[in-house]
Structure 1
Amino acid sequence: MATTTDEGIRLPNADDVETWLPPELWLNVFDLLAPQDLSTVSRLSNKFHILSRCHLHRRIYIDGGKATTMRVLRCMVLLLRTREMLHYVQELHIVGHGRISNWDPFGLRDQIESLPYWGQSLETVNGILTELQIPDLKDWKSAIRIGSPFAWVAALLPLLPNLKLLRLDYMSVHHGGWPGLMLTHLTSGNVASRTFETKFDRLRLIDYGSNVPSGLALSSWGMDHVRDSIKRQFAGLFRPPRVEHLGLWLRYTDGIFDRPKDGCELNFRSLKSMVLAATDAEELIYDILKQTTGLQTLHLGLAYRDPAKPPFQEQDGIEWIRNGLLMHQKGLENLSLVLELDDVIIESSTWRKELDTSLQPFTHGFFRSFRSLKTLEVPIQVLVGRRNINSPDMNRLLPKSLRKLLLRYDVVEDRSLQVADGGDEEEEEEEDEERNDKPWNDDSIFHCTRRFLDSRRWQTPHLEIIAFRVFDVLPFFVDDATGDVVALSERYGILVEREIWWTTGMWTYWDLGHPLSRWLVEV
């Protein structure tokens, strides 16, 4: 029944208010409320109470760095028990920083089997997998039975038809690749059951493992290799039709360009930002960039972690990358490049002699042709080359539109390069050349930067900030040149950043909604 105020204003009761807007719009209104206010509203009527519960299910967030295996499984069981609420889920975040070392179900069998409603949930998930007729069903059921967290997360995907944002940790790529395999199957056109048929046509953002750490960290954790059986886990990432922001740890390329059986086009043209982390698929990069015509933001992480496969050794390897980037020289606004090499490759004298030639397509004013570029993150060796470190000048290498520049120090070479003793003239010539071929170090990068800063207003009039990213093996390592960095910062207003293992592009990464983990030295 409606009530009337002392001023004679008639106020509708809660039941009347409920009818003013459809449920979907009420959920949007609830987005604007503080938790305490939402709690108050939920008590006004039974319908508002139901809608508030739906609102709480719109976002599922699990901190992969803190949550244990048991906690994740409890969460999965609870969600399956409130299965009708999964229709309202719009965001699924399962992301951590560093290694998720406590997501190992082995040794927890007794605890897992004693979870409330475990048997019932196990039966439900197995029924879903069977109805989907998913390939390798036996492997799936085995992973579900032992309590593999990422397999359980993957089993939720068929129940999330209104998902708009999907962010999964790089560990999901390494430990089974279950979410990627499920997404591949659900978008393949081979789903037997209409109950679970979904094209994920509301998805706007997919991040599948783009927070992968450096190869050094992965190697120390024994994560150098991924099982061959999960190579196709990336095939479904380019299929959801409306994804605008895509990030992935592209370990393998199998099935990337396979079209679904229903004839739907692959989604490349709607992508506005893309993060390709830790990949060496040079020709595939070209094929992808050729089709992503609407890109505004790109992070390209080139990682050569196999000593038997040095960078750019395939015919036209560097040209694939260069030509792919040139297709976006008019529209690209944010660009980040990373060059990660295995120590064995860096220490090879043969590789050092070939690197200058390999990088030439980038070092002769290549980036200046990107007339719309506002932010650029690039290794110093890629921008100005690896040799003649006393002479390079950045003044004519950058576009005038640039507002933010970040210089990376990715390829860290040994400062005390040694050449084996030899007696013939050829070996002596090699030794002389090696001595003159000094690698970059902190001091030389600072000097190169200082020369640029003295005239930067003429070459890049809109430049607002220059950041400097030094890769250190240990995040707590303090270089002797820190004092020089501070002095440079005080004089020119430079932002100095110390990189830790799991940081990716400084500016390109924001489109995926990640708060970067950074060690920032403020001055």
Structure 2
Amino acid sequence: MNWTWKYTVPLRKLLLLFRTFFKRPGLVSSVQNLSLLSSTLSWICPTRNIIWRRESARFKDVVDKATYIIQCAQFDDAEDWKEALEGADLYAFAAVFIAQLPNIKSLCLDYSFVWLGGYPERMVTHALHSPGLALPAFKSLQLIDYWRNVPSMEEWVQDSNMDIPDEFPGSNKNDQFDGWFHLSSLQHLGIWLLNISRLKDMKKRETNLGRL
């Protein structure tokens, strides 16, 4: 499954697919590869291809089911997830969507997933720390390609008219990516890190670094 966008994220498509999977749960096991990437080479905050205030009622069933999954998984920050889902945050929906794919083997994610909320890594970390709580253990996931398309950081310096957003990658927590390094089945991890200080602090016996 390969989705590419430029400036407008495919929120409507994701919500419709979410609904299909809820109605036909047997389909989720057939998804083994997922790629969600933008084609833009600039630090531009994407927009949604849906006017949520007009169509939120149409997708209430999808929001309710996604929120229910978060509640069953007992997230400490469940209210944050709930607010994001009710506000039609594609990145939060995508993270919950990924968690419904028990046989996923490869995952390619756009740089903006880290920039705007970091929901996938929050999902993975919680799943690993809370086994059995409505989330998979991602035991089939072998390849992760994260930030392959990250734009040049020099753009922020060269363009004085660009405002650095609150969720600029440099402000993320040092332990943000820890979950990826603890996946037992992972064979390839392509990831862009601002620094590796946290990585150096990890002991190999506590992670999957020795097999990557």
With normalisation by structure 1, the TM-score equals 0.35
* 1:167 matched residue in structure 2: 108
Structure 2 residue 211 is matched with structure 1 residue 270: yes
CA 1:218–1:93: 2 relative to 1, 3 Å: farther
Pairing 1:209–2:147 present: yes
* 1:317-336 Cα distance to aligned partner (Å, 9 max, x none): xxxxxxxxxxxxxxxxxxxx
Task: Kindly provide the amino acid, as one letter, of the partner of residue 204 in structure 1.
Answer: Q
Return closer, same or farther for 1:110/1:209 CA change in 2, 3 Å cut-off.
same
Greater RCO (CA < 8 Å, at least 6 residues apart)? 2
The aligned residue for residue 56 of structure 2 is: 113
Task: Answer yes or no: is the 8 Å Cα contact 1:103–1:149 preserved in 2.
Answer: no
2:47 is the counterpart of 1:84: no
Q: Is the 8 A contact 2:12 2:50 kept in 1?
A: no
Deviation track 1:212-251 (CA, whole Å, cap 9, x = no partner) reads 1111235545447337465533111111112222111214
In the other structure, the counterpart of 2:137 is 199
Counterparts of 2:16 and 2:194 in 1: how far apart (Å)? 31
Tell me how large the CA RMSD over aligned residues is: 3.0
Query: 1:88: how far off?
Result: 2.1
Q: Structure 1 pair 253/139, CA: closer, same or farther in 2 (3 Å)?
A: farther
Q: Which has the larger radius of gyration?
A: 1
Q: Which consecutive unaligned segments of at least 5 residues does structure 2 have? A: none
Alignment of 1:236-255 (within 5 A): 236-251=179-194
SS in 2 for 1:92: strand
Q: CA deviation at 1:168?
A: 0.2
**Matching of residues 339-354 of structure 1 within 5 Å:** none
Identity of aligned pairs, percent? 25
> Within 5 A, what are the aligned runs for 1:420-439?
none
1:75 alignment partner in structure 2: 17
Structure that is richer in helix per residue: 2
Q: Distance in 1 between matches of 2:13 and 2:49?
A: 15
User: CA contact under 8 A between 1:234 and 1:255: conserved in structure 2?
Assistant: no
Quickly say closer, same or farther: Cα 1:73–1:258, change in 2 above 3 A: farther
- Distance (whole Å) between structure 2 residues aligned to residue 112 and residue 227 of structure 1: 34
- Deviations, residues 54-113 of structure 1 (Å, cap 9, x unaligned): xxxxxx221132654333433333344333311221111001222485733598322441
Hey, what's the Cα distance between the residues in 2 that align with 1:169 and 1:154?
A: 12
1:218, 1:242 → 2: CA distance? Answer: 37
Show the 5 A alignment for 1:16-415: 60-65=1-6, 67-98=9-40, 99=42, 101=44, 103-105=46-48, 108-115=51-58, 118-188=59-129, 190-191=130-131, 193=133, 195-196=134-135, 198-218=136-156, 220=159, 221-223=162-164, 225-226=168-169, 228=171, 231-251=174-194, 265-271=206-212
Structure 1 residues 398-419: Cα deviation after superposition (integer angstroms, max 9, x where no partner): xxxxxxxxxxxxxxxxxxxxxx
**Structure 1's 68 and 89: CA in aligned 2 closer, same or farther, altered over 3 A?**
closer
Return the alpha-carbon distance in structure 2 between the equivalents of residues 252 and 238 of structure 1.
Answer: 15
- Residues 107 and 231 from structure 1, CA distance in 2 versus in 1: closer, same or farther, beyond 3 angstroms? farther
Output one character per residue of 1:22-45: Cα deviation in whole Å (capped at 9) or x when no partner: xxxxxxxxxxxxxxxxxxxxxxxx
Structure 1, unmatched stretches of 5+, are 1-59, 272-523
CA-to-aligned-CA distance 1:463-506 (integer Å, 9 cap, x gap): xxxxxxxxxxxxxxxxxxxxxxxxxxxxxxxxxxxxxxxxxxxx
Q: 1:161 to 1:254 in 2, by over 3 A?
A: farther
Equivalent residue letter for 2:208? N
Change (3 A) 1:243 1:144: same
The verdict on how the C-alpha distance between 1:87 and 1:145 changes in structure 2, with shifts beyond 3 A counting, is same
Counterpart AA for 2:149:
N
**Cα distance in 2 between the residues matched to 1:217 and 1:80:** 41
| Pair 105,67 (structure 1): closer, same or farther in 2 beyond 3 Å | closer
Task: Give the paired residue count.
Answer: 203
Aligned partners of 2:2 and 2:43: how far apart in 1? 15
SS in 2 for 1:86: helix
Letter in 2 for 1:130: Q
Q: Distance in 2 between matches of 1:235 and 1:81?
A: 34
In 1, distance between residues paired with 2:112 and 2:94? Answer: 12
2:175 partner SS: helix
TM-score, normalised to structure 2's length?
A: 0.80
1:395 maps to none
Q: Measure how far apart 1:191 and its partner are.
A: 3.6
> What is the Cα deviation at residue 154 of structure 1?
0.3
